[in-house]
Structure 1
Amino acid sequence: MRTLTAFLIGVLIGAIAVWATFDRGSGLLGRLRRPPTGIPTAMAPGGQVREFRLDAKPARWEIAPGITTDAWTYNGQVPGPELRVREGDLVRVIVINHLPVPTTVHWHGVDLNWKMDGVPGITQLPIQPGESFTYEFVATPAGTRMYHPHQDSNAQLELGLYGALIIEPRNAPSYDVDRTIILDERALDFTTAVAMGQAELRGADGGNGRGGAFQYDLFLMDGKAASAIPIINVKPNQRILIRIINLGNLTHAMHLHGHTYRIVAKDGNPVPPTAQLRMDTVQLSPGERFDIEFVAYNPGVWMFHCHMPNHGDNGMMTMMQYEGFKPIGPVGHALHLAAPPAPAPQTAAATVSSPRRGPVVTVPMLDNRFAPASMVIKAGTTVRWLNRGQNIHTTTSLDGSWDSPGLDRKQSFAFTFTKAGEYRYLCRQHLLNGMVGTITVK
C-alpha cells in the first residue's frame, strides 16, 4: 500500500512539474503563482505626474455654420479636451464648477479608488457651483476611456459635458494617424433654461427631456455636424487608428467607404489578433467604444458616416481624404432647420374616469418618490397625482385599475376610488428606485 501511495504521489508531482514547464506563467498555474493585483495607488516606475484643469462652464457652441446653441462645456469646448496620458502615470484633474448646478466627473473604464469615481451620493458629494474638486488616480488600464458627469447625467451630457481619456500603453504601437471621434445627438431647443426646469421642450409632448423624450435635430461627430466636422487626412500606406466613442443616447452604425478595417479594441480593451474581425461597418450602443485599424490602401476621398440614414443626412457624416485628392464638388448642403413648431396646448390633466363629486386629494410626484407614499381615504375620493419633479413619471396600479401616460413636469392624472380595499401602485419609470405607493380606501 505504501509503495502504491508513493508511486501515485510521484506521478502527481511529475505531472505538476510538466504542467508548470508548459504553463510558462500564463495559464492556471501562472495565475495561482501570481498574487492578486489591486488598484495601483502609486505612479509606475518611469511614469509622470500629469495635471489637467477642467472648467465646467456654460457657453454658446457653434455646431455648424450659422447654427449655435446653449452648451455646458469643459474649457469652453464640446467635446471637452482630450486627456492623453500613459499607463502608470499619476493623473490629477482639477475640476472647477462654473455651472448654475452641481456636477461631478466620472472616469469611465478606469480602474481607480472608489472615492474618485465621480458618483454623487455614493462616492462623493456633488461639486457645488463655485466650488472645485481634485480627482487623482493612476492611469490604468491602457485603452480608449472617457469622462462625463454622473450628476443629472441626462441633462449635463445632452448639453455637452463629455470628453475622451486616452491611456496609451507603455509599449504603444506606432500609428501615422491616431484620431478620436465622439458621437452624440443634439436637440437644439434643449437649453440651459430647460435643464434648469424654467422652460419646456417644443412639440406636443413638451417636457424637459429627462424621460428621454428628445426630438433630435442634429447628429454630431466631435460636437460638430456635416461640413463642420474636421475631415480625416491620410496618405497612402499610412497606418491608421480611429477610436470611436458613443456618448449619445442612440445607437449608431459607423461605415467607412472604400475600406475594410480590423477591430483591435472593444471598450478600450485589446482584442486578441485571432479574434479581430475585418469589417466596414461597426455598430455602437450608448457608452460603447471601438478602436478600428487599417492601412490606407485605396487613394481617393471617402465618406465616413452613420449608416442610419436620418443620422447621416442630419449631420453625422465626414470624409477621409488622401493627400492630393479633393472632392469632385461641394460636399453636402448647408443644414436648414425648420423653425420649431409653436408649443401645443398642454393637457395638464389626464383621467381614466371623470372625477366625481367628492373630496380631492393631491399626491405630489417628486423626483423618485410619491409624497406621501401611503395614505388612507374614504370611498368616493378622487386622488390627483401632480408631477412636481424634474423627471417623467407614471402612476400605475398593480391590479390594473389605472395606468397613466408619462407625466412631465406640471402634468397630472386623476382617479376616483369607489370601492374599499388596498391599492398598490408604482411609477413604471422609477420602480427600481423604490417609487411605489399604497392607497387604502375605507
Structure 2
Amino acid sequence: MQMTRRQALTLVAATVATPALSAPRRISLRPEAVETTVVGRRLPMLAFNGQVPGPEIRLRQGNAAHIRLDNGLDDGALVHWHGLRVPNRMDGVNVLTQDVVIPGESFDYRFDVPVAGTYWYHSHYLSYEQVSRGLFGAFIVEERDPPEVDHDITVQLFDMLLDADGQPDDSFDPSQFATAGRLGNVKLAILSRDRVRLGDRLRLRFINPSIDRIYRLELSGLDGRIVALDGMPLEAPQALGPIVLAPGQRCDVIADVTGDVTLRDTYYGADDLLGRIALDGERPRSRADIPRLPANRVAQPGRPAAVAMLDLQGGAGAPAHPGTGTWALNDTSGLPAEPLLSVRRGTTVRIEIVNQTNFPHVMHLHGHHFYEITQKGQFGPKRDSTLLAEGETRSIIAVLDNPGRWMLHCHMLSHQADGMATWLAVS
C-alpha cells in the first residue's frame, strides 16, 4: 500500500480573532468532497460550493466582504486571499494567523478591498493536496472606473495528475517533492466565457492556480497589450508576447479579437492547446488605443532601512543543507522560530533572493506587493510573487506597511510543504 501525501507531510495551526466591518457583502464558501466533471471525466474532487473552480467572487473597489467558511470536509480547512491586502488575522495561514477550521465548524473572514485587480483564493491547509483537488477560485476587484471592454473573461490554468484508471493520483512519490514538483498529466484553461465576436475588445484575466506547473502562454487571434501583473497595473502597458505564469501569478490583457482565440502552453518544450474562444458574429473593431489601467494607491518605497538575504536550498542534485526537509530557506526547513525580518510598520526593506537549487521557484509574499529590481538596478513591475530560474539571483524591495506576521514561501506548493517557508514580522 502506497503512502498518501497527507500521511507523508503534515502541517500545524495557531489562533486568531476577527474584527467587524460595516455593511459588508455576505458570501458563503463551503468546501466539500464532490463528484464533478473535470477534463471531460467524472472525478472525485474537492470543491467550494460544489464547483471546480469555486465561485468567482467580484467586488467593486472600496467595498467590504464578509465571507463565511463553512467546513464540509472530513479534514481541516483554511482560505487564503492571494494577493489581497487583508488584515493579518484574515490571511488564512495556519501557524501564523489562525486555527485550522475543523470539520463541521465555520469561520468568518471580514475585510475590505481598497485595491483593484485580479486575485484569487485557495486552501492554505494541506494546500498541495487540497488545491490540486479543486479548492481554488477567482477573486476580482473591479476598478471604480473600469476600462471599456465588450467582455471581461477570467482564465484559470489548471493541471491534474491522473492515474492509469483516469482517477486523481493520490500516491506519494518523493521524487516529485525533490524536483520540479507534482506536475499533472492533464492540463487546461478554464474560461468564464468561450464565445466572442470578431472585433470585440476583451479583458482577459489569467490566473495560475496549479500547484507546481509553470506555463508559457502563447495567444493567437488577439491584438493588444499586457496591462497588469499580479493585480497591479503597469505604468506602461507591454507588448502582447508570450506570458510566463508561475504558480500563483496573474496577468491582465486587454486585446481586440482578430480571429479564433487559442491559448497554448509552450513551457518545458511543450506545445499544448489549453483552451479556445470561438467566434460567434462580428462587430467593427474599436479605434481607441488600449487603455492604461488606473493606478492603485500603494506606499512608495524609500531607501531600504533593512536588508535580508534569502538562500533557496535543497532538491535533487543540490548540496546538503542543515534543514529537516527536502528544501530549505537559509538552512531551515519550514517556518523558523524567528522571522527573516522584524521591522516597524512603513519600513522599506530589500530582500536578496539567491536560488542555489537546480529548479525554478516562485517566492510569494503575503499581505504586500513588492518591486522586482532589474539587472540594471531599476524598479521593475510590482508583484506579489517572483519567479527565479535555477541558479538565478533577484532583489525585491517592499514597503512593509501592513502589520502582522506574514508568510514568505515558494508557491510551488510541493516545495512549500517540504520546507520552503519563512515569515516577516511587521509591528
Shorter-chain TM-score bucket reads 0.5 to 0.7
Counterpart selection for 2:171 from 170, 183, 200 = 200
Q: 1:435 to 1:86 in 2, by over 3 A?
A: closer
- Structure 1 residues 419-430: aligned runs within 5 Å: 426-430=324-328
Q: Secondary structure at the match of 1:130?
A: coil
Q: 1:72 to 1:239 in 2, by over 3 A?
A: same
Q: 1:50 to 1:292 in 2, by over 3 A?
A: same
Which runs of no fewer than 5 residues in structure 2 stay unpaired? 1-18, 284-313, 337-427
- Match status 1:178 vs 2:149: no
**How many residues are aligned here?**
282
Return the structure number with greater strand share.
2
Instruction: Please say if residues 393 and 427 of structure 1, whose CA atoms lie closer than 8 Å, have aligned partners that are also in contact.
Output: no
- Match status 1:316 vs 2:274: yes
Q: 1:97 to 1:42 in 2, by over 3 A?
A: closer
Question: Over aligned residues, Cα RMSD in angstroms?
Answer: 3.5
Instruction: Please say if residues 21 and 110 of structure 2, whose CA atoms lie closer than 8 Å, have aligned partners that are also in contact.
Output: no
Q: Secondary structure at the match of 1:154?
A: helix
Q: 1:130 to 1:310 in 2, by over 3 A?
A: farther
Q: 1:277 to 1:309 in 2, by over 3 A?
A: same
Q: Secondary structure at the match of 1:323?
A: strand
Q: Output the amino acid matched with 1:253.
A: R
- Structure 1 residues 163-312: aligned runs within 5 Å: 163-189=137-163, 200-201=171-172, 206=173, 213-214=181-182, 216-222=184-190, 232-248=194-210, 249-272=212-235, 275-296=236-257, 298=258, 300-308=259-267
Task: State how far apart, in whole Å, the 2-side matches of 1:308 and 1:425 are.
Answer: 31
**Cα deviation digits, residues 237-283 of structure 1 (max 9, x gap):** 322100000111111122221333201111111112xx211214211
Q: CA deviation at 1:209?
A: 5.8
Q: CA deviation at 1:148?
A: 0.7
Q: CA deviation at 1:217?
A: 1.7
Q: Output the amino acid matched with 1:295.
A: D
Task: State how far apart, in whole Å, the 1-side matches of 2:143 and 2:117 are.
Answer: 7
Match of 1:49 in 2: 24
Q: 1:311 to 1:149 in 2, by over 3 A?
A: farther
Task: State how far apart, in whole Å, the 1-side matches of 2:237 and 2:319 are.
Answer: 49
Q: CA deviation at 1:426?
A: 4.8
Instruction: Please say if residues 182 and 221 of structure 1, whose CA atoms lie closer than 8 Å, have aligned partners that are also in contact.
Output: yes
Q: 1:425 to 1:323 in 2, by over 3 A?
A: closer
Q: Output the amino acid matched with 2:28.
A: R
Match of 1:359 in 2: none
**Cα deviation digits, residues 123-162 of structure 1 (max 9, x gap):** 1100111111110001121110110121111111111111
Q: Output the amino acid matched with 1:293.
A: I
Instruction: Please say if residues 186 and 220 of structure 1, whose CA atoms lie closer than 8 Å, have aligned partners that are also in contact.
Output: no
Q: 1:236 to 1:55 in 2, by over 3 A?
A: same
Instruction: Please say if residues 198 and 282 of structure 2, whose CA atoms lie closer than 8 Å, have aligned partners that are also in contact.
Output: no
Q: 1:435 to 1:170 in 2, by over 3 A?
A: closer
**Cα deviation digits, residues 217-236 of structure 1 (max 9, x gap):** 201222xxxxxx67632224
Q: 1:135 to 1:397 in 2, by over 3 A?
A: same
- Structure 1 residues 132-151: aligned runs within 5 Å: 132-151=106-125
Q: Whose RCO is larger (CA < 8 A, sep 6+)?
A: 2
Give the TM-score taking structure 1 as reference length.
Answer: 0.57
Task: State how far apart, in whole Å, the 2-side matches of 1:257 and 1:316 are.
Answer: 12
Task: State how far apart, in whole Å, the 1-side matches of 2:127 and 2:195 are.
Answer: 34
Counterpart selection for 1:101 from 64, 75, 96 = 75
| Structure of greater Rg | 1
Task: State how far apart, in whole Å, the 2-side matches of 1:305 and 1:243 are.
Answer: 16
Q: Percent identity?
A: 28
Instruction: Please say if residues 196 and 277 of structure 2, whose CA atoms lie closer than 8 Å, have aligned partners that are also in contact.
Output: no
**Cα deviation digits, residues 66-119 of structure 1 (max 9, x gap):** x23221110111110000001111101011111111110011111121100000
Which runs of no fewer than 5 residues in structure 1 stay unpaired? 1-39, 223-228, 326-391, 404-423, 437-442
Q: CA deviation at 1:62?
A: 1.5
Q: 1:146 to 1:427 in 2, by over 3 A?
A: closer
Match of 1:345 in 2: none
Match of 1:120 in 2: 94
**Cα deviation digits, residues 343-385 of structure 1 (max 9, x gap):** xxxxxxxxxxxxxxxxxxxxxxxxxxxxxxxxxxxxxxxxxxx
Task: State how far apart, in whole Å, the 2-side matches of 1:432 and 1:217 are.
Answer: 32
Return the structure number with greater helix share.
1
Give the TM-score taking structure 2 as reference length.
Answer: 0.59
Q: Output the amino acid matched with 1:111.
A: R
Q: 1:83 to 1:425 in 2, by over 3 A?
A: closer
Task: State how far apart, in whole Å, the 1-side matches of 2:31 and 2:117 are.
Answer: 25
Instruction: Please say if residues 199 and 282 of structure 2, whose CA atoms lie closer than 8 Å, have aligned partners that are also in contact.
Output: no
Task: State how far apart, in whole Å, the 1-side matches of 2:52 and 2:29 are.
Answer: 12
Q: 1:182 to 1:267 in 2, by over 3 A?
A: same
Task: State how far apart, in whole Å, the 1-side matches of 2:334 and 2:160 are.
Answer: 31
